[in-house]
Structure 1
Amino acid sequence: MIRLNKKHLVIAGFGAVIALCVAATPAKPTEVKYTNLKVLPKNISPKELQGMMVDDFQDGLGVTCNFCHANAADGHGLDFASDAKPEKEIARAMMRMTIGLNKKYFKVKHPKLGTDALVVNCNTCHKGQAFPDGAEPK
């Protein structure tokens, strides 16, 4: 029969705790590289991008992703990098417009889309509708 003394048990216990801590430490997330960003910062985080798309565009315009983003060629999901839909370039123009309005008229020094610092945002005009005040194309 093997007899372990307290010293060996303490060392084994610390070893087990360290092994569990190392195993539980999340791996470094892979850096996401977005393509075809023309207004948004190239280094935007997935959390910031998702928040902006949901809070600003979906809520402010009452639309879903496929309003601006084209279907993927394989028919599964959306092709977020594609410029096939004209609504995407319209959205870019609207983003540039709100940045310009906030800088010029409200003296927001470095307007950042998706922040509460903006006075003018999507909801200012759209109020949850894809086309503000009956401006829907015919």
Structure 2
Amino acid sequence: MTGALDLDRYAGHLIRRAEQVHTSLWSKFVSEAVSSQQFAVLNALRQSPGIDQSTVARLTSLDRSTAHHIVRRLTAQRCVNRTGDLADRRRTLLALTAEGRKLHASLAPAAEKINDELLAVFPDELRSEVLRVLARISQR
């Protein structure tokens, strides 16, 4: 029989705990109403207006179903505008409305602040390496 594992030595456990810290900071300092995933969609559309929902899902690392629900919610809140693609009638193109741009602008500074807060536990010279390692793990 195997004894109990030391979960503090397991990447998945630590990533889950880090996500809990991120979620707590997000709720406290950014928004209780807009999730970080919703912000990711707003941010993708701010960066690349006129993209389709599949591209939003890819850029935000969300599955297509989750991206669809978020886009529907943001559309209902009048933050996202949907228009048919004249070149391909099967596609719907997405862009932020004025309200969506205003919401993104109101959240972005706080999102940057909690990113800085999360990275503050590392010395300055290690922060880019931490981000590189996290990016590598997330690309699996």
Fold conserved between structures, TM > 0.5? no
Structure with the higher helix share, 1 or 2: 2
Structure with the higher strand share, 1 or 2: 2
Q: Normalising to structure 2: TM-score of the pair?
A: 0.28
Q: Normalising to structure 1: TM-score of the pair?
A: 0.29
